[in-house]
């Protein structure tokens, strides 16, 4: 009965989003989404999301300086930097490499960089999280991912790259929305929204379980917890937050 209801409601949402599906069939939605809609949407989302997660982010990044190298330098790479939502939470002097597969965030990223002069911005790379070949092995103290792993092609592939570029003892910090408890109404609605949400929001997957991916990866230590972010009337309230040490 529940599965039938999911399929019915899913079909209803697909009808509502029919213009987007038609544009997708014509090959017009993806370029419009990547160039205009998604960068605009994420810039608008960032302000509200940071207000709702400011306390969690401050607590998450509080111990970043502990992973600085022997010279006191903290070399950090952020996966899927987008418009630079996390810059304000990084410690002064932090050396930041920005990466994103979508170059259309450039304008909002430049604005955010100018507003965060306490950081040293080293490079901006147009690269997917699964292929950071321009970054040397064991060259970074910290890698950060927030609201990114939901849309990558392979979480396993991303974590392999993270482990490759981190120095021994380096840390991977994450804050990601994830699948809700399977017995919950939240998960029911995630299943309903899934195909339409993924199409509209540039491949964002609602039902990934990152805990399993992190535990399968070869980190020496994983510190995580599950939290709920009050993004009311959205299917992305369940989150996982923490850091893992190489």
Whether this model's pTM surpasses 0.85: yes
Q: Is the alpha carbon torsion for 213, 215, 218, 222 positive or negative?
A: positive
Distance from chain centroid for Cα 182: 22
Q: What is the pLDDT of residue 151?
A: 95
User: Is the confidence at residue 245, as pLDDT, over 80?
Assistant: yes
Q: What is the pLDDT of residue 105?
A: 93
Q: What is the pLDDT of residue 46?
A: 87
Mean pLDDT of 137-155: 97
Q: What is the pLDDT of residue 167?
A: 97
Superfamily of domain 2-245: Vaccinia Virus protein VP39 (3.40.50.150)
Torsion of CA 184, 187, 188, 190, to 10 degrees: 160
Q: Give the pLDDT band (50/70/90) at residue 111.
A: very high
> Residue-wise over 202-241: b if at least 16 C-beta within 10 A, else e?
bebbbbbebeeebeebebeeeeeeeeebebeeebbbbbbb
Mean pLDDT of 124-140: 96
pLDDT, tens only, 147-173? 999 999 999 999 999 999 999 999 999
Q: What is the pLDDT of residue 47?
A: 85
CA distance 120 to 103: 20
pLDDT above 70 coverage of the chain, percent? 100
pLDDT, tens only, 61-74? 999 999 999 889 99
Q: What is the pLDDT of residue 39?
A: 93
Mean pLDDT of 69-86: 95
- 3-class SS letters over 103-158: HHHHHHHHHHHHHCCCCEEEEEEECCCCCCCCCCCCCEEEEEEECCCCCCCCHHHH
> Residue-wise over 82-106: b if at least 16 C-beta within 10 A, else e?
bbbbbbbbbeeebbbbbbbbbebbe
pLDDT, tens only, 194-233? 999 999 999 999 999 999 999 999 899 999 999 999 998 8
Q: In which order are the strands placed within the sheet that holds 166-177?
A: 120-126, 95-100, 75-79, 140-146, 166-177, 238-245, 221-228
């Amino acid at each position: 009965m529940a599965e039938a209801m999911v399929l019915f409601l899913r079909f209803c949402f697909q009808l509502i989003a029919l213009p987007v599906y038609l544009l997708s069939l014509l090959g017009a939605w993806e370029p419009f989404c990547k160039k205009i809609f998604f960068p605009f949407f994420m810039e608008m989302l960032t302000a509200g999301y940071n207000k709702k997660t400011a306390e969690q982010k401050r607590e998450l990044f509080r111990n970043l300086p502990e992973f600085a190298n022997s010279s006191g330098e903290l070399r950090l790479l952020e996966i899927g930097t987008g418009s630079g939502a996390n810059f304000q939470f990084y410690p002064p002097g932090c050396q930041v490499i920005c990466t994103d597969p979508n170059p259309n965030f450039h304008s909002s990223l430049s604005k955010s960089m100018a507003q965060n002069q306490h950081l040293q911005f080293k490079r901006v790379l147009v690269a997917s999280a699964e292929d950071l070949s321009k970054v040397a092995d064991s060259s970074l103290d910290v890698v950060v991912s927030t609201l990114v792993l939901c849309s990558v092609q392979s979480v396993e592939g991303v974590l392999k790259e993270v482990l490759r570029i981190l120095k021994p003892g380096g840390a991977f910090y994450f804050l990601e929305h994830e699948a809700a408890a399977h017995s919950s109404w939240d998960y029911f609605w995630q299943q309903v929204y899934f195909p339409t949400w993924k199409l509209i929001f540039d491949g964002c997957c609602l039902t990934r379980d990152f805990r399993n991916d992190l535990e399968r990866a070869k980190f020496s230590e994983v510190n995580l917890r599950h939290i709920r972010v009050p993004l009311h009337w959205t299917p992305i309230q369940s989150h996982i937050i923490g850091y893992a040490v190489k």
